[in-house]
Structure 1
Amino acid sequence: MKKVILSLIFLLGFSLMSRKKQAASAAKPEAPKNLYIFFTDDLLGEIDLCGCPGRPMGGVARRAKYVQRLVELGEAVIQLDAGDSFFRFHPSGFPIPESEKEFARVIAKSSAKMKLDAFNVGVLDMSLGTDFLKELKKQAKPYGDLSLISSNLYDRAMLRPIFETEKVIERAGIRVGVFGLTRETAEIPANILVREPKATSEQMVKRLREEKGCDLVIGLFNLGLEESKKLVEQVPGINLVIVSGNPQYLWSPELVENTLLVQAGAGGKYLGQLKIILPLKAEKKASKEELADLRERLAQLEAQVALLQGEVLKEPAFAEKYNQLKKEKEKVKKELEQRALKFEYNYFLIPLDADLPVDQEIKVWVVEALTPAKSQ
């Protein structure tokens, strides 16, 4: 009888332990299937709706709320800004209005509160010098860290970096290295040395890949699109470049060599979103010759599509051929990306429409900053 009772106790205990393990396993959150990279560039000091009569868009409070909802759902998120965001362009010697300084403070506090992972310092961001930026960082501290970076801005006298040169971020088990570049112009303060972008990029890629063990390398390039494209042609190992300077909307990413380039346009009307589908793919083994053949074929198809586009309007009979070429172009483009990139992705420029929900605390900051500005 004792043996029967002991056996029953053992079985009951084993059953309870199994149930606890199952419950613990069920409670364990599922690993993220995607890595979301949200990006902005060229905000030019804009903090609220653009005032466009047809479709008002934009605002740091809307952007913060949009990203916050994904974070609350347990998604893996990285947030980046490529620069030229604190101030708009002013001619040399033009005094910066107090209202625009207040807008910069709102952007700094908002960036800290929404946990922006890295903010590249662009030329326009230095309109009041680097001391003002360091003051912004201090003022934002109660809300989080304003992570200002630049890999090629150096103190001319001390020959040392003014800001952190890179940021390593880990999300969903992926190590992502981020570095930033700034263009050299006459607007750069005289006490700042701008290191050559190509040499800086080579150094940063090597450090992030070999020393930091990063799976992905992202460049925040305040160089404009054309200069950014020239640079990645010369420097391999950069997976993604977010462009600022000479703002424009890239409705589709541009692929140059093995690098994807993106840009969300001026004023913060759109929030860039690159959704990387996990897991990452193995390093690509396609030869340069194979990639060159695909690029040549894609260029031919793009030229044919552009040529027929005008003819279709004149003669509908060309429509079938035009649609056929468009499909073939997309097929070749997809194959090229499959062979050249380390990841599959979805890409959107998200319109921050006026009816989207807002972060209420940031909205208060925006209203307070705009009220005196409107009365001036």
Structure 2
Amino acid sequence: MKQLAKHEKRPILFLDAGALLFQGATIPADRLAAQQAKADGIIKAVQAMGLTAAGIAPQDLAGGIDYLVRAQRKTRFPWLSMNLVRQTDRRPLFAPFIITKTGSTRVAVLGLTGRVPGPAGNTDGNFMVLPWQDVLRDTLAKVRDRADMVILLSSYPCPVNERIARRFHGIHLIIQSGHATANLPPKQVDNTLICQVGAKGGYLGRMDIRWNASRRWRHDFSGQLRTVQDRLDRTNWLIKRNQWLKRHSPRDRSALDERYRELLDTRDQLRTEIRQLQKRGRTGGKGLCAYTNSFISIRTTIPEDRAVEAIIVQAARTVNRINRKRLQRQRQQFRTTNRAGQGHANNPDPGMAALAGWQTCRACHPEQTAFWLKTGHARAWQTLAAVNQQFNLNCLVCHVTLPADDKTTGYHTEQRLALLPSTFNNVGCEACHGPGKKHARQPKRVGMRKAGAVVCLTCHTPDHDNNFDFKHKLKKIRCPAPAA
């Protein structure tokens, strides 16, 4: 945003609709300190980027309402919610809206918090979230004569936002949050545009708006154009397939010829429809407001800003330090429990006891081990350490070697991570091929699992690796075949 503000000649409004601080609606008590430290870093970073205002989603309340109230006092940008109120007197805990001037345009930005899990949206007795029907009409009345454009930051799901758009024509733009992992291009509902940037902070949404006194959007035909163009592409493919069948298939030629003529007629109709939509798009919006929309990949297209990067690095170090102390406490607690005879003293974890470690594999498979040591899997834990994330449990589980969860043992992943020997600080042989201690003792009688895409996809999920292709990646990490 700082780069856009530096290079653009037009005024910029930088907004976030919510779900900015936390991913889920609840946080386990033993993880709260680390999550709040991470949220502190996010707040400092977006403030340094020049955030104008932020909406409050249910996820932002996961750290506690008191935490968010304290955060508001320390930030220069406002947190907005018209329906997040004190339970005692139903007075808003945060500003319902702001009026700001962007260039010569007066813009009202409103906040609307989505439904919070729990009875009547009340999670801890200190606050409640009122239904949008109770507050939105009155809030809009307060800004109607003071603003040229009204923007709603909403964490309600899209169907609810569409109902709001149809009911209140004075809202010109709804930016929604918290309900999609992918970017959603603007959807026009009457005179309201509804849009959203995907979760996880991978993209910025950019909308260039040409606003005027009409306060009405030019109708957007791009969605209809895409649909008709997809049908045309499919029809062209069917025409080519029909031509191939006529040359190579022994099927009845008359039936193929009839189908070919039908496809040609369909193609002509679709081409005509596309021309008409394009013409309506060029001529049907004279004097109305217009926009263009794009999504900017933060990771790949924007160089790091040094000030923001320093904030993020410091936050990562703080979170890492908190998580390290937490794992140390758990490690001591588990060992104390075992010494007291309350755990599996002689065999603390049957799952971990079944692992041999890559050094054992090397004794019989030196060529394969030498190859593995050159892959990214062998350095998986080090990649976390390089960015102060080696004690982040959400990341760590996919950067070490663990047995598959077995609920019958009484041990869960977090306990295993707390007690994990350093020899398993990598994605070793057994992460893909399963536990190997029995195989090491009796290699001819006990085989190993053949790694497949299902195993890889437990960690290479779209959130972490959205370009994962099993066959392509397998070429990079497949070990050489054993000698005959």
TM-score computed with the length of structure 1 as normaliser: 0.69
Decide which moves more: 341-350 or 119-128.
341-350
Query: Partner amino acid for 1:150?
Result: S
Unpaired stretches in structure 2, ≥5 consecutive residues: 241-263, 321-387, 392-484
- Per-residue CA distance 1:300-354 (angstroms, 9 max, x = gap): 8777555555333222456565444334334445666x38x95211211112233
Decide which moves more: 244-253 or 266-275.
244-253
Q: Is the 8 A contact 1:181 1:221 kept in 2?
A: yes
Of the two structures, which has the highest relative contact order with CA contacts closer than 8 Å and spacing of 6 or more? Answer: 1
What residue in structure 2 maps to residue 158 of structure 1? Answer: 89
Matched, 1:198 2:198: no
CA apart distance, 1:196: 2.1
Query: Partner amino acid for 1:325?
Result: E
CA apart distance, 1:370: 2.3
Q: Distance in 2 between matches of 1:199 and 1:158?
A: 15
CA apart distance, 1:122: 0.5
Query: Partner amino acid for 2:294?
Result: F
What residue in structure 2 maps to residue 311 of structure 1? Answer: 235
Q: Distance in 1 between matches of 2:95 and 2:314?
A: 31
What residue in structure 1 maps to residue 164 of structure 2? Answer: 231
- Per-residue CA distance 1:111-142 (angstroms, 9 max, x = gap): 222331110011000002221012223444xx
| Structure ranking higher in strand proportion | 1
Q: Is the 8 A contact 1:109 1:139 kept in 2?
A: no
The structure that has the greater radius of gyration is 2
Unpaired stretches in structure 1, ≥5 consecutive residues: 1-63
Q: Secondary structure at the match of 1:177?
A: strand
Decide which moves more: 122-131 or 101-110.
101-110
Query: Partner amino acid for 2:235?
Result: E
Query: Partner amino acid for 2:239?
Result: E
Query: Partner amino acid for 2:234?
Result: G
- Residues 375 and 205 from structure 1, CA distance in 2 versus in 1: closer, same or farther, beyond 3 angstroms? same
Query: Map of 1:171-320 to 2, 5 A cutoff?
Result: 171-186=102-117, 188=121, 189-190=123-124, 191-210=126-145, 213-250=146-183, 252-277=185-210, 280-283=212-215, 307-316=231-240, 317=264
- Per-residue CA distance 1:344-373 (angstroms, 9 max, x = gap): 112111122335222212101211222425
Decide which moves more: 245-254 or 231-240.
245-254
Q: Secondary structure at the match of 1:163?
A: coil
Q: Secondary structure at the match of 2:161?
A: helix
CA apart distance, 1:95: 4.6
CA apart distance, 1:222: 0.5
Q: Is the 8 A contact 1:165 1:180 kept in 2?
A: yes
CA apart distance, 1:197: 1.0
Q: Secondary structure at the match of 1:160?
A: coil
- Residues 355 and 265 from structure 1, CA distance in 2 versus in 1: closer, same or farther, beyond 3 angstroms? closer
- Residues 271 and 283 from structure 1, CA distance in 2 versus in 1: closer, same or farther, beyond 3 angstroms? closer
- RMSD after superposition: 3.1
- Residues 220 and 343 from structure 1, CA distance in 2 versus in 1: closer, same or farther, beyond 3 angstroms? same
- Residues 331 and 162 from structure 1, CA distance in 2 versus in 1: closer, same or farther, beyond 3 angstroms? farther
Percent identity of paired positions between Structure 1 and Structure 2:
22
Equivalent pairs counted in the alignment come to 294
- Residues 324 and 267 from structure 1, CA distance in 2 versus in 1: closer, same or farther, beyond 3 angstroms? farther
- Residues 74 and 301 from structure 1, CA distance in 2 versus in 1: closer, same or farther, beyond 3 angstroms? closer
Query: Partner amino acid for 1:162?
Result: L
1:375 pairs, out of 390, 394, 417, with 390
